[in-house]
A = this chain, B = another copy of it.
Amino acid sequence: MRASQFLISTLKEAPADAEVASHKLMMRAGMIKKLGAGIYTYMPMGLRVIRKVEAIVREEMDRAGAVECAMPVVQPAELWQESGRFEKMGPELLRIKDRHDRDFVVQPTSEEVVTDIARQELRSYKQLPKNLYQIQTKFRDERRPRFGLMRGREFTMKDAYSFDRDQASAKKSYEAMAQAYRRIFDRFGLRYRAVAADSGAIGGDLSEEFQVIAATGEDAIVYSPESQYAANMEKAEALAPKGPRKAAAQAMQKVPTPGKSTCEQVAELLKVPLDTTVKSLVLATDRMDAQGGIVGTQVWLLLVRGDHDMNEIKVGKVPGLDVGYRFATVPEIEAHFGTRPGYLGPIALKQKVKIVADREVALMADWICGANEEGFHLTGVNWGRDLPEPDAVADLRNVVEGDPSPDGKGRLAIERGIEIGHIFYLGTKYSKAMNATFLDEDGKPKVFEMGCYGIGITRLPAAAIEQNHDERGIIWPDAIAPFTVVVCPIGMDRSAEVKTAAEKLHDELVAAGIDVMLDDRGERPGAMFADWELIGVPHRVVISDRGLKEGQVEYQHRRDAAATKTAVADIAAFLKGRLAA
């Protein structure tokens, strides 16, 4: 490709609304162009990256035995009503009415459509297992689209859906995808981790996220440097500390703590370590009748150590809270605790509440908590003596650096990541809701066991940039660079030798199947180099009259501090060798 025939459009400054590096750099490098909030045109330079991502994903999905199809972007609402998602999903589901006032959605995913295909086309166990995938435009009407392609509204996703006759086979399909995902992310040339994840609202048991490691990532990744253990923060288990509980050493005492309602403030006031304090969180669960009317409410008090954070996913799994919980209202709190929020604790309650202690709190002695009286805390509190043992003990908190690894090997470390892939074992959630069955070997209809597997195709380039950039611009891994090599001739318009050498190298690399860009725009060297460093082409060859006189050109990898002189006769072979490796 010659630059004069391409569309190169770099900017000195990123637009004001670009906050993260990938967004700034993709805008400055002319890879994307904003059309509206969270809606971008993929410009020629950016589209080349996306097409390479797609090609690698497609190759590996095909290799794993998945079959590609393409489901409509605009989908009639009927199937979405059948699964219940048309009603359940919030405003992020973009709804449309056509000319006949019929309801449609722009697909955010395609579980409904693919399950509908399966129940019609996969009639016999002999056709199973089957994995159908698509690389298709999606839309999610995010409340706050931001970070460019990282959290856009329109985006491209690879979504795959597996159909199996039983759980054992479904787990094999899941495993095949887990392996394919590793091959895919290995080929991208990115540092990533596959981490155990909570399967969340989508249901099912097995779930892994593929996270590109980047300091700017939105997600916390928990791992053990001494083992294979890795999970996201929602999922990572905080093991119970080694017991037994220490014996009580202090008497319980009410101390004035006026205006000090947080654990941090109380610890500072009392000059005690934060980990001797206990935080209170008051939740409520409602019992409904068949019509959805509330017929009874249970109030819960959850306790975690003052230096720990509550984990909402874990809270949602506590028996009794797993039906769906809410924060208690101020009147509910006053009725049970006799005071307003700020100085709450488990002692001297007006009405009974269910107390759930974090594993850590359950083993504490001589701890500090609110006194249920404005301006006062209790110190020297002890289980069994000052209050009954908790109704339940559970893992309620986020892990922290140094916690023991749940697999028993080493201590946990935490780093940041960007989720670019997610694989789920779905079970029968959709197949049951949509009565999607096949005839099993015994001649009886049976619902499919399903899995679903996503890769954020257009998010991936952004994640790659977050991981690979410097102050001058992007540094693409070879596999997804818009061009692998850029040939920068200096004074191509003045020197026939430079022109000939540049074009010869370009043509030879093209013939070898290497994606090469010849910058024939006639820019000054400084501007030309700055453009390609911004755009992030990994391999650069500079051809100048002065160099050619010595029979040399200059090669520089985007990560190299300086250029290396290379014989002009050897450069093509050198690049071919380096890129084949």
CB distance from A464 to the nearest CB of B (A): 18
- Stretch from A94-102, A270-278, A354-362 at the B interface: A94-102
Q: How far is the CA of A50 from the CA of B68 in the complex (A)?
A: 12
| Distance between Cα atoms of A124 and B554 in the complex (Å) | 32
Asked whether B69 lies within 8 Å of A9 as measured between CB atoms, the reply is no
The residues of B that contact A116 with a CB separation of less than 8 Å are 35
Contacts of A92 in B (CB 8 A): 99
Interface residues on A, range: 35 or more
Contact indicator A99/B141 (Cβ below 8 Å): yes
Q: Which of A30, A91, A92, A106: most chain B Cβ within 10 A?
A: A106
Q: How many copies of this chain are found per oligomer? A: 2
* A98 to B143 CA separation, bound complex (whole angstroms): 10
Contact residues in B for A120 (Cβ distance below 8 Å): 33
Chain A contacts with B in 50-103, Cβ cutoff 8 A: 50, 65, 67-76, 78, 91-92, 94, 96, 98-99
Cross-chain contact of A72 among B35, B70, B71, B91 (Cβ < 8 A): B35
In the complex, are the beta carbons of A67 and B99 less than 8 A apart? Answer: no
Q: Could you tell me if A7 and B67 are in contact, using CB atoms closer than 8 angstroms?
A: yes
Q: What are some 16 contacts across the A-B interface (CB < 8 A)?
A: A5-B65, A7-B67, A9-B121, A30-B121, A33-B120, A36-B76, A39-B72, A40-B72, A43-B69, A47-B68, A50-B70, A73-B73, A73-B137, A74-B106, A91-B99, A99-B143
Q: Are B69 and A44 in contact (CB under 8 A)?
A: yes
Judge if A117 is at the interface, Cβ distance under 8 Å.
yes
Residues A35 and B99 in contact, CB atoms below 8 Å apart: no
**Using Cβ atoms and an 8 Å threshold, which residues of chain B touch A154?**
72-74
Q: What residues of chain B lie closer than 8 Å to A65, measured between beta carbons?
A: 5
- Interface residue A565 (Cβ < 8 Å from any Cβ of B): no
Q: Which of B39, B70, B98 contacts A74 (CB 8 A)?
A: B39
- Please measure, in the bound complex, the distance between the C-alpha atom of A43 and the C-alpha atom of B47, giving whole angstroms: 25
A67 to B78, CA, bound (A): 39
- Asked if A47 contacts B69 (CB within 8 A), the reply is yes
A130 on interface, CB distance cutoff 8 Å: yes
Cβ-based interface call for A253 (8 A): no
Report if A42 contacts B (CB, 8 A).
Answer: yes
Chain A residues 110-156 with CB under 8 Å of chain B are: 113, 116-117, 120-121, 127, 130, 132, 137, 139, 141, 143, 153-154
A73–B98 Cα distance when bound, in Å, is: 16
Q: What 4 A-B pairs come out closest when comparing CB atoms?
A: A36-B76, A91-B99, A42-B70, A44-B67
